[in-house]
C-alpha cells in the first residue's frame, strides 16, 4: 500500500478508553468499564472499523488476501510496541469454522506481529470449544450466557502478561470471555491488540 493511501485510512486518534478502546474525550477509563469491569485489562486498536478499512479486513477474512495480514502487523507494531508482553495469543477459531474458512485470520496477523515485535507466539494457548452464534442484537447478559465455557486454556500461564490478537473488536464480549479463561489459567494481565475497533452506534 502506498504511503498516501495508508495515511487516508481511519487511524485511531487519542481520546480512547484504555480498557475497551471506545472513544472517550481526554482518555482514561469510561463509565461502562468502571461500572462493569471486563476480565481483560486493556485494549488498543490501530483503526476504526469503517470505510475503507472494513473492506481490507474483509479482504483478508473472506477473500484470502494474506498480504494484508503483514500490513496489519506492521501497523500494529508501529502503533503498539514496544510494550511489556510475555506472549502473543491469537483469538482461536472453532474447528468447524476453521474447516470452513481454511485459516484463522487472527493467526495470520499474529505470526508476523510476533516476529516483528520479538514476542513469543502461543498458538496452543487457548482452544475454542464451541462454535458460538453471532452476538449482534443480544443483550450483555445474553452475550455472556452464549459465550460461557466457549474457551479452554491449553497451557499454564502463571504470571504471564498476555496480548490477545484479533482482527476486529465489536462488543468485546468474546474477548472478555477469553480473558476470563486466560486468567483462570494464571495470566496476570490480558490486553487486546486489534486491527480495528467498531465505533459505537449512532
How far apart, in whole angstroms, are the C-alpha atoms of residue 102 and residue 123?
16
Quick one: pLDDT band at residue 135, thresholds 50, 70, 90?
low
How does pLDDT run across 160-191, given as a tens digit for each residue?
999 999 999 998 999 999 999 999 999 999 99
Phi, psi of 161, deg, nearest 5: -95, 110
How does pLDDT run across 143-155, given as a tens digit for each residue?
777 788 889 997 8
Q: What residue has cell string 459505537?
A: 200
For the structural domain made of 3-197, what CATH number should be given?
Answer: 3.40.50
Whether residue 87 is predicted with pLDDT greater than 90 in this model: the reply is yes
Q: What residue has cell string 472499523?
A: 49
As a whole number, mean pLDDT of residues 45-66 equals 96
As a whole number, mean pLDDT of residues 65-70 equals 96
Parse the chain into domains and list their residue ranges: 3-197
Whether the bond into 178 is cis, omega within 30 of 0: no
Three cell numbers, residue 44: 488498543
Report the pLDDT value the prediction gives residue 50, as an integer from 0 to 100: 95
Cβ pair 37, 50 in contact under 8 A: no
Longest dimension (CA), the chain: 45
Mean pLDDT of the chain: 92
pTM for the predicted model, two decimal places: 0.93
Quick one: pLDDT band at residue 119, thresholds 50, 70, 90?
very high
How far apart, in whole angstroms, are the C-alpha atoms of residue 144 and residue 177?
8
Report the pLDDT value the prediction gives residue 21, as an integer from 0 to 100: 97
Amino acid at each position: 500500500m502506498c504511503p498516501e493511501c495508508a495515511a487516508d485510512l481511519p487511524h485511531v486518534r487519542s481520546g480512547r478508553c484504555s480498557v475497551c478502546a471506545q472513544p472517550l474525550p481526554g482518555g482514561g477509563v469510561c463509565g461502562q468499564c468502571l461500572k462493569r469491569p471486563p476480565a481483560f485489562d486493556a485494549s488498543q486498536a490501530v483503526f476504526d472499523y469503517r470505510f475503507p478499512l472494513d473492506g481490507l479486513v474483509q479482504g483478508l477474512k473472506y477473500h484470502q488476501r494474506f498480504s494484508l495480514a503483514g500490513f496489519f502487523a506492521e501497523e500494529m507494531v508501529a502503533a503498539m510496541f514496544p510494550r511489556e508482553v510475555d506472549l502473543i495469543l491469537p483469538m482461536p477459531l472453532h474447528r468447524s469454522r476453521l474447516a470452513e474458512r481454511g485459516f484463522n485470520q487472527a493467526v495470520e496477523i499474529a505470526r508476523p506481529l510476533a516476529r516483528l515485535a520479538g514476542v513469543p507466539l502461543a498458538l496452543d494457548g487457548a482452544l475454542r470449544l464451541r462454535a458460538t452464534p453471532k452476538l449482534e442484537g443480544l443483550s450483555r447478559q445474553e452475550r455472556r450466557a452464549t459465550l460461557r465455557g466457549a474457551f479452554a486454556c491449553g497451557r499454564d500461564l502463571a504470571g504471564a502478561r498476555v496480548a490477545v490478537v484479533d482482527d476486529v473488536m465489536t462488543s468485546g464480549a468474546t474477548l472478555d470471555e477469553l480473558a476470563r479463561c486466560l486468567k483462570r489459567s494464571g495470566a496476570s494481565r490480558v490486553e487486546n491488540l486489534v486491527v480495528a475497533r467498531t465505533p459505537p452506534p449512532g
